[in-house]
Structures are given as structure tokens and as C-alpha cells.
Chains A and B, each alone.
Chain A
Amino acid sequence: MNAIATGHEDLIHDIAYDHYGRLLATCSSDQFIKLFTRVVPSAEWTLLSSFKAHDANIFSLSFAPPQYGLLLASCSEDQTVRVHSSIDNGQTFTKIATLSDSGGPVHQVAFAKFSGHGLKLACIGADGVVRVYHAADPADLRQWHLAFEKVVDKDGLLSTGVAARDLQGDFAVDWCPSGTVRASWFTDGLGIDMDDVELPRVDRLSITELAVEQFVASSMSKVVVFRKRLNGGIYEYEPTEELPGHTDIVRDIAWASNAGVGGRYELIATACKDGWVRIFKLTSRRMGVRATEFRNGASGNSEKLADEDDLGYEVELLDQFDHHKSEVWKVSWNFSGTVLSSSGDDGRVRFWRAAYTGKFVGLGVASAEQGSNDEMDE
């Protein structure tokens, strides 16, 4: 497919797809957001609409899940997050909310894919603070309240320094996209074969289903997982795990769907200025406990699991790649968490796929440099 001239008059900083991948939004320093629609079956993109959305560079975009209608959030150097709504399939957008709690440019915004009730949106800006907003009434998405804000540091300390104002990509946030299937918590570690468990297969999903609100945020070189936990009778997001080993600024983070591994563990990828793509494996420490309970005949009460038994994740560096040999700026996953893409200063998009053992191996390279076919890697 040919390259598409977007009509932007400045650099493009981010793109976002709607839930179906049928709409594409782009944002730019020209302060405009443009909407493109995928032509079926040719799969080409055509411009649908364009609107001025901010008063400064727009850094990031995110579409809300479709059950909330066509809702697009954007964040900008103008220190705001704005929520735009369309009631005509993207032909026009109306700004329905402006969130302006950030003390600096807002670098990334992300709607939650799953949340307890209502709609949630996380953002992070140059102040290094991650914020979560909540629209409690799905029928009135004009009303958002700040539900959480915290400096991205596991210890709650602003130890990461102050970001340069003219640099981008120093902060990132991404929600866990999965409906968090935790069936393996019952069996992993004990070698229990699910086939020996006298339950219909579909029930194995439902009895262990557990919705946990969690996201990962990065500020400079610090990457921290936040999870909603019951603390003193109140549900709160708490920094729970840190993803270690980054020796420079983390440019992007992406939380994979756990579908491809049947919910046995979570995968989070990071793109780092130090030239490495890292894939972290987060395995629940709870699984051994749950397996014991299951063997002893416990019923699998998901509420109890969620509230009291959160023992956190065992964080492990599953794989890391330095094939870009330069700064890595973006990582993203496919829908099943089995293909990862990374891109960066080498002008290449690299694809990685999960092999049989769960480790990742190279799948292919797309080069933005002409005549790169069959070229040796640098």
C-alpha cells in the first residue's frame, strides 16, 4: 500500500486506531487531529475529518472502547487532556471535556480497555505524574473526575529528575488490556493437568475470571506497574512492581494481551533510549497459593482473590533485543500478545514473534530506507 499524505502541516507525533482498527486518528504539532477510515476491502485509508483540537503540539491519542461510543482523547503541550466525541461515525467531533490538572505538557494518554464501572483514562506528563480520570456515569461522559495521581516512582519519590521540556517520549503509560484470565493460577506450579479437573472447559475461564485494573507507567528510566487494590477498605491504585534494568530514558511501554498465553502471565514491552527492546514477564505470585486452595477444594471466589490475595507479580526479563543499534522509540503488540513490533532511529520496524516456548524470535524487518531488501543488518 502506498504512503498516505495526511494533510498535516507539521510532524506527526502519534496515531491511534479505534477498537475495530477501522478508524485511524493522527495528531501533529500543527494542533490538528485527522481521522482516516479504512476502505474495505482494499484496506486503504481515506481522510474522513480534520479538526483543531489543541492550542499547542498534540502528543498522543487514544480511542475509548466502543461501548462508550466514538470517543477520542488527546493530550498536548498545552497541558491539557481533551476528550472528543463523535455521533456521526467520525465525520465530526465535539470536545466534551478538558482535563487540565497537569503541571506541564501532557505526553501520553490512554483509555482503559477494562474497568470496573464507568470509563477510565490515564495520562502522564512532563511533571512525571500519572493521573487517572474516571467518568462514573457512562451516560454523561462530559463529567470526569481525577481519581488518582502519583509520581511514577515505586517509592513515591521524585527521584527521576526533571524532563527537558523540548524532548518528547520521556513519559509513557499503558493499561493492561486483558480481561485477566487467571485460570492457570489454579494449576501452574503444581503440574495439575486441566484435563483432570472435572469442569467443562468453558467454566475454567469463568470461575477464575478476575478483572484487575492495572497499568504501567514510565517516567524517564523508571517503569512502574500500578494496580488497584483494596487497602483499608478503599480501592486504590498502588505502585506494585518495578520493571528494572533500563539504563536510559524509556521511550514507550506496551502491555500485551495475555490471551496468547492463556492468562498464565503478563507481558510488558519497553522501548528504551539505551537501544534495547525489553520484554518483561510478570507471573502472579498468587498462583501457588491458589493452586493449593484449589487442590484443597476452595471455590475460587474471585472477589476474595482480588481483594486480599494480591501477592504481586514475579517480574522477569523474558527477552531483550538490541538489534536497532540505536534509540528505540515505539513498541506495540498485536491483539493476542504474540507479535511485538519495535521501531526507532535505525529507520526500521522490527517484528518479533512468540515461539513455541514463549520466548521471542525475529519475524521480519520493514525498512523505511529505500533498497533495503536483503540487506545485511548493520
Chain B
Amino acid sequence: MSGAGPTSFSPSFGGPRPIFSKVKEPMGTPAKASRSTTLLFTSPLATGRTTTVDNIRGTSEDEEEVKDDDDTVFTYTLQDAPIAAGRLRDWQDRKRTLKFRLPPLYNNGIAWIDGKKLDGGDQVPIVPEEMKIFPTEIPDSAFSDEYTKFVIDSHELYRALSDADQIGEPMDPSENILPKYATTFLQILDAARRRIFDERLSEAYVVCHCLFASYFADPGITRAEAIMDWLNQYDPRPTTEETRDIMTTPVPYDEPGFWELVQKLALRGLFFQCSNCLKEAGIPYIDPESNRALQTATSILETAPKGAKAFEGHRQWRARAIAFGEKCAKLSDVKLRRGLIALANILRGDSDTILALSESWQEATASLFLFHDPAPSRLSEYYQMAVAEFPVDLTVISEAGCAAVIAGDIPKALSVAERLDVCVAAHIADFCDRQRMLDEFYNVDTLELPPFRDWLFMAHAINCCANPGTWLVGAAYLKDTEGIEGLSIIRESITHVYLDTEATLTELLDLCKELQFDSEARQIVMAWSKLQLSRNQVGSAIEWLDYIGNSLEIRAITWQLLESHLLKGLTLPDAILQRYLLSPHLCPAMIREFIAPYATYFAFKIHLNEGDIVEAAQYLASLIQFAFLPDRFFGALLGELLPLLDRSQPRALPTSELIAIMNSLYQWEKDSRKYTEGIQFLAKSLSVTREAADMAEDDWRVEYANVSAKEVIKLVRSKLVTEVSRAYLEGV
């Protein structure tokens, strides 16, 4: 991803990444590739070259094809790389290896050094680098802040275009909204590349500009003009300096490079600049014919047909240029004659002249297209003529992409753009798709593959999902793709989005609801409730569990709360839970049912603290006799009875309750497993008291901290018996 910029590479890299042509390492050629080549798209090239699925994936064996850099990839050095330059062999001799693991969602993993032998044997001393971890990014996938802005801006434009465009409806050229949106996208991209200073993004801009000039130009200009405009921005010639160096001399006409300058300006369709050069060159008066010829030349240049009238006027204008050339042949002054004839030959679209004066295939193609015949059907012919003279430099990715665009091989252009920047490629593909330029690409052979536009958007969306802050953008793109891949990726990633706030939770749950991802919604809510628990927001956790109907988990939390309080003493619940405990009528039914044991214990403690021991005792007695009370709590709850069985205060429990508790105690002691669990927990509870420095004074355990758990139970039994006899004696 172009947005990674220099930040994703080590300092030794020293600045923006090199152009793609610098790639070195051969990779990616499958050892056992089944090379079934399927024809997908016939290009308009005279040679009949075709774009195939294999071309798109980049394994073409055709040397003439645009070389796919999947065979060669970037190598970058880890920050603080632990192996000294040229010492790999020494490192290997230490029986070390490099390991790496990718994270669940993000695009930067961790590399570390491990030994190949675990212990003994080698006795290689450990060095500090071997106890470090090395953050490592997936190449081209990390978004810088500036690139994130580009991604978000692009997405907003995409949304606006989607809203405005009736996909599938044939475009009426006069109502075609795509050029307007294409221009805006190009402006967004241009601004981004200027901010980010990334060469690959700049190269992607070049390809995008070329494609938009070729297919999404303002209806007010011809395709030939648009392509020439693109060329003049991409590779401005003559340069300002070149023009100034000649035109600021006393007599420009006398400069050796004067005619070269004039011809270059003409070749680039810069008619007014060319005309001005002729006018201001200080060309001496020779004779009337020469003077007239100069006037004719400037007139032709200044009346070059443009825009909507270009097609109609071109033939007539070209005839003027041809006639002008014939007249020039009769001029007496050799220097002027030669210069004006060459100019006339350019203007009449003479291929030999244009090819001779051009410096690149782009310039030759654009000039032939502009001057010879600007009919779009002729473009591929001009391209062929140009590349025969000036071969495409396939090591420059953007040049390869532009060549594919000019050759009309849009799928190839998109696949090249994808290697430069998948976000740009996806949006270009979207424009092409809306213009029905990819229809031929989708046929029986691509049935099992997603549409190429969708695949590009998925690749971009996966990057968005793996970068903090753009997950929702990625999901939005994925929702718009056909097939189930997009939804599958949302489904896979949605539970990995970190639930930092409740707003994030709500956004994710809304999306789950929209896409009917019930299982994922439950997972997300479960995870959120666990997070809330770890933040001591128990009430909130329970509310969310109620939302997904997870009664088991609410019950588990209830018992965890009881356990915590039996061990650590009662702490004040959070506001939500407190509201439910104090006002059960506000409680949703399921929560009320499942937090009842904890609510009972809470009520017991409240009444106990208020000195209402009769009320407190009744709550405790009912909890002790609760049929589903986990066995481990029984002993500790019995211990809680001790302060209530004090003879110095009024009797707290009626005889029937006392007898019922004694019966429960008997049953509990009879079951050795239950008894053991209860005693162990009680012992743990008592030990906590012994170790705690800040135990509340009114905690029953303070008095019995140094008594064993079994002794406590014996004491409870004894006091229960005493209370029963007291009740008998009191006649109640």
C-alpha cells in the first residue's frame, strides 16, 4: 500500500521507497503451477494479444507481455535488524532461526529469533538481540495518517457516486456523471500523492490519470486532446527552462535549438505557445512568400480545432496543413523552409515525421492520435507504430500500466495499477465497471472467480479492515461486492474489532443486525460483557448478557460475585447492579431470576449492617437452604450465621428455620465431596482474613480468623443446638 510510506521501513532505507523497477528478489513462481491459460479478453491490439486470467495473476510466460512483478518483490530490513550485514552464515551456525507470526486482524506481526535446539548440546550463549521481538509489517498494507485520509476521502466519493449512479443503466453520454466524479477522484489522489510523497502512489496517479484521460475525459474535449493533456502533465516537454533558454535570447530564431523547440511544442499540441514562438522569434523579413508562410503557420496553429468541434473540423484543418506544407516547399530560404515543412508535417500527422521527432512511445502515440486522425478506433494502430519505434520500458510499472491503457487492455491496466496501489486500482475498476468496460472480462471462464472489480475492492477492504480506524470503510466496501466472499470477510473480522467504547459495540451490533450475523453478535456481546466485568462494570455486563439471553453466564456471574464477597467481604456494586439489587421491580425478568441468590446475600448484608438481625437472618437462612447453592459456599455461609446466633442478643431465627438449617448441615456433612469442597472454601475464606490488613471489623471472620474451618463448623452446629434449646426454653 502506497500509504505505508517510509514509516513502514527501517531508517536505513532512508526515505521513500524506490520505484518498482528496483525490485530484486524473485518470488512467487509456483513450483508446480498448472498453467491453464484461459482467454478472457481480447485486446484491440493489431497483434491480437490477449489478456488472460494468468496475465492478471501475473504468471504469463509471454516475454512480450508486461512483466509481472509478482516474480520480484521488495526486500526491506527489519528495524534494529539483529543479524549483521554479511553475517547470516555465522548466525545460522549458532543454530538459530527466525520466526514470525501475524496478528489476528492488524497488518503488523512480530518476528523473533529462536534456537533450533532447546537445551544443552550447543551451549551457544544467548545475546541480547535474541531476547527481543521485532515488529514487522506486511509490505504495502499499513496506512499512514495521510493515507488513511485518502482512503476515507475516496470512500466518501465512492458513496456519493454510488448514490448518484444507477448501476446497470446504460449511460446516455450527455448525462454521464462519471467524468465529473473521475475528475474529483483524480483531484483527491493528486492531493494525497503530494501529501504523502510516495513514489508508488505517484505512479498509480499516472496510470489513473492516463486511464481517466482515455475513457472518462470531460465530454467537452476529444480523447486525443485528453491523452495529450495527460502526457503534458505526466511528462511536460519542452520544459519551462528549455523554452526560456531560447526565447529569452536577443534573436531566438538564430538559436540552434529554435526549430526543435517549435516542433516539440507542436508535437505536444501546444498550439498557442508554438504560434507565439514563431511570432516572437525575431525571424527576419526575407520575402513576401516567407512572410505569408509564417502568417499561415501561426494562423493554422491558432485555429486548431478543439473540443466538440474537433472531429468535424479536423479534416479541413489537416487539409490546410497539407496545403501549407506544399507551399513551404517553394520557399527560398533553406532554414525557414526546412523548419516550416517539418512543422507542417507534424500538423498534417505525418507518421514518419512524428516518429522521428518523438522521444517516447507516449509522445508518438499522442501526437499521431492528435494529428493523423483522432478517431478512437485508430488509437491502437498508433500505439503499435509508436512501440515499434520506442519499446515500452516494462521495468517502470506506471509506464507498463499506461501502455495497457493506451492499448485498450483494461484488465491488464487494472492488474498493473493493483501492484502500485490497490485502493486506486479498485476505484479505477469501479469507474470502468460502471462504464461497462469490463463486461467482456466477465464470462464463463470467470464464473468461479469474483468479478475483478469486486476482487480489487476486497483486497482494498482487507487492508482497510487491518488498519485501525478504517474497519467500517472496509466493511462498507465488502457489503457492496457480489458473491459471499465480501460478507464472509466481514463475518470473519467483525469479532476482531476491539470494543473500545460502547459506541463501537453499537456500530458493530447494528451491522450484525443488518447482515443477520446472529452468532457474531452473540460473540461480540459476550466479549463486551467480559470486558465490562474486567472493568468492574458488572451491571452493564449483566444487561448485555440479558440482551442476548445468556442466562447461564448471568448465573455464573452471580456465583462469582457471591464467591468474591464471601472471600473478600462485601464491596459496593456498581450503579446499575445496585439499582437492580435495591429495586428488583426495575430488573428485567431474567436478570431478576438469576441474580436472586446474590441479591439475597446482598439484602442479608444490608440488614445486618443496619442492625436488623431478624430480617438479615431470614435472608441468610433462605440462601443456605437454596437448592441450587454451589456446595463450596455452604460452609462459608454457615460461618456467616455465627454473629446471628449470639445469646447476648435477641433470637434471630425461629425454631423451624433453625431445624431446617440443622437438617441442611447434616445433609451437607454426610456427603464427603460436598463437605470437602465447602470446608476448603471456608478455610480459604478464613486465610484471606488472616492475610488481609484491611478486613472490616464487623466481618464475622475477624473473630475466628485463627480457628480452623472444621472448628468453625463445629461451633456453628453447637450454636444452632443452643439456639434451638433457647427457643424451647423461651417457649417459642
Contact = CB atoms under 8 A, between A and B. Distances in A.
Interface in B663-697: none
B77 A367 contact: yes
B81 A372 contact: yes
Contacts of A296: none
Interface in A15-62: 15-22, 24, 26, 28-29, 40-41, 43-45, 57
B449 A21 contact: no
B104 A356 contact: no
B114 interface: yes
Interface string A108-138: 0000000000000000000000000000001
- The main secondary structure of chain B at its interface with chain A is mixed
A15 to B, nearest CB: 5
Contacts of A369: 77, 81, 83-88, 91
A364 B139 contact: yes
B530 A66 contact: yes
Most buried by B among A264, A335, A346, A366: A366
B289 interface: no
A334 B79 contact: no
Given A41-B468, A330-B100, A356-B53, A366 B488 contact: no
Contacts of A320: 30-32
A89 B534 CA distance: 6
Given A40-B468, A87-B533, A338 B75 contact: no
A20 to B, nearest CB: 4
Contacts of A341: 100-102, 109, 138
A206 interface: yes
Nearest to A26: B133
B25 interface: yes
B132 to A, nearest CB: 4
Contacts of A234: none
Interface in A295-353: 317, 319-323, 326-327, 329-330, 332-336, 338-339, 341-352
Interface size class of A (residues with CB under 8 A): 35 or more
A181 B84 CA distance: 47
A3 B33 contact: no
A339 B138 contact: yes
Interface in A353-378: 355-377
A338 B131 contact: no
Contacts of B531: 66, 89
Nearest to B115: A11
Interface string A2-19: 111111111111111111
B659 interface: no
Contacts of B117: 166-168
Interface string A152-187: 000000000000001111000000001101011000
B452 interface: yes
Interface string B483-522: 1110111011101111000000000000000011001000
Contacts of A333: 102
B550 to A, nearest CB: 9
B25 A376 contact: yes
Interface string B15-54: 0001000101111101111000000000000000000011
A88 interface: yes
Contact of B88 (A26, A346, A357): A346
A359 B33 contact: yes
A104 interface: no
A166 B119 contact: yes
Contact of B27 (A22, A169, A361, A367): A361
A274 interface: no
Nearest to A30: B131
B111 A343 contact: yes
Nearest to B84: A370
A260 B18 CA distance: 30
Interface in B462-479: 462, 465-466, 468-469
Contacts of A349: 98, 100, 109, 111, 136
B723 to A, nearest CB: 35
Interface stretch (B120-128, B209-217, B358-366, B609-617): B120-128
A338 B79 contact: no
Which interface residue of A6, A343, A373 has the most chain B CB atoms within 10 A? A373
Given A138-B553, A373-B75, A334 B530 contact: no
A294 interface: no
B76 A377 contact: no
Interface stretch (B66-74, B186-194, B298-306, B345-353): B66-74
Contact of A3 (B71, B79, B526): B79
B332 interface: no
B101 to A, nearest CB: 5
A348 B98 contact: yes
Contacts of A5: 128, 131-132
A368 B98 contact: yes
A355 B58 contact: yes
A261 interface: yes
Given A6-B131, A364-B138, A366-B139, A167 B118 contact: yes
Contacts of A339: 102, 138, 141
B482 interface: yes
Contact of A351 (B126, B131, B139, B498): B139
Interface residues of B, number: 127
B97 interface: yes
A15 B79 contact: no
B133 A4 contact: yes
A233 interface: no
Interface in A271-288: 276
A96 interface: no
B580 interface: no
Interface string B529-544: 0110111000000000
Contact of A364 (B32, B74, B83, B97): B74
Contacts of A40: 468
A347 B98 contact: yes
A347 B533 CA distance: 43
A321 B31 contact: yes
Contact of B101 (A2, A330, A347): A330
A101 interface: no
Interface stretch (A143-151, A197-205, A221-229, A235-243): A197-205
A211 B82 CA distance: 43
Nearest to B559: A139
Interface string A69-80: 110000001000
Contacts of B81: 367-370, 372
B4 to A, nearest CB: 10
A270 interface: no
Contacts of A293: none
B97 A344 contact: yes
B118 A70 contact: no
A259 interface: yes
A51 to B, nearest CB: 17
A376 B24 CA distance: 5
Contacts of B496: 19-21, 335
B114 A13 contact: yes
Q: Which of A264, A359, A360 has the most CB of B within 10 A?
A: A359
A344 to B, nearest CB: 6
Contacts of A12: 112-114, 130-131, 133
Given A3-B132, A359-B30, A362-B28, A88 B534 contact: yes
B462 A263 contact: no
A213 B135 CA distance: 32
B251 interface: no
B114 A329 contact: yes
Contacts of B452: 356
Given A339-B138, A346-B88, A355-B70, 17 more contacts: A20-B497, A43-B135, A44-B135, A67-B526, A138-B556, A139-B553, A188-B448, A195-B482, A205-B484, A261-B485, A317-B32, A322-B31, A333-B102, A356-B53, A369-B84, A375-B25, A377-B26
The 7 closest A-B pairs by CB, nearest first: A362-B27, A364-B139, A139-B556, A67-B526, A362-B28, A361-B28, A259-B492
